[in-house]
Amino acid sequence: MKYRHAFHAGNFADVTKHVALVAALLRLTEKDRPLFLLDTHAGRGRYDIEGPGGEAASGVGRLASAGAPTSHAALARYLGILRELNPGGTLATYPGSPLIAAALMRPGDRAAFCELQPGEAAALRREFRSDARVGVHARDGYEALGALLPPPEKRGLALIDPPYEETDADFARVADALTGAAARWPQGVLMAWYPIKQGAVAARLHRRLLGSGVTRLLVAELCVHPDDSRAGLNGSGLAIVNPPWRLDQDLRAIFPPLHAALAERHAGRTRIELLGGE
């Protein structure tokens, strides 16, 4: 595997994904009914970002130093999780999506975190060894979507976040995974993260999902470079099937200040759009 979680941890794409995840979970936990959370490519849970190298300085580091507004509950909660993980005030540790999800879980909720790489899975098991709500699975996340859905809890969220080492093939596989999961779990919120290197590739993902029968699709994108830039990673997005009520409004309030903090010279863009359905 070429993708290195630790090197990319806390970059602008991580921040975008995790703030949106917090916003979705805050909406889902408004109702007093248990949730099931599935993370298909969970990583190790936490990452050391204090040393040299890595991309956190231009992501979460820039957000922290910018003094981003915390008027929206989701952004405030995300920054609160960072402070809880770094009590000394120095931004040395960054949480992966499992730690962020666990911070928002309630006693009756349940999670399955999947990680195929043995070392990462072992670290994840150590992270949650005392948390009875969490099961760590050393298994393929795509296979887990078929095996673990639908859950007994009925309500919940699945996060699909593969490394996209072969972009075209990975986009096609994500589209198939979302379509299959939506058919098996129509009550579930399905979030798939994707990189934006060329806007047309992401657009094909959206068209494929809508053409496959998905009726409620929320697209949330944040780019820190123009779409045609040669920077490599110009932005990232989330394709959210069956988004929670008013999540689109949340992200419309959150993404502009987030973009202002993360993008140099106001480059790039944001996009929050509901496709299909009402």
Q: Where are the alpha helices (DSSP H) in the chain?
A: 5-8, 12-28, 60-66, 73-85, 97-104, 118-127, 141-148, 167-184, 199-211, 247-262
Angle between helices 97-104 and 118-127 (to 10 degrees): 20
CA 39 to chain centre: 9
Q: Which residue has the tokens 């190790």?
A: 44
3-state secondary structure of 225: coil
Q: Which residue has the tokens 């989330």?
A: 238
Residue of 14, 39, 109, 161 marked catalytic: 161
Q: Is 161 a catalytic residue?
A: yes
- CA-based nearest residue to 39, from 149, 115, 151: 115
> Which tokens hold the place of 21?
């995840």
Backbone dihedral angles phi then psi of residue 160, each to the nearest 5 degrees: -115, 115
- Catalytic residue ranges: 161
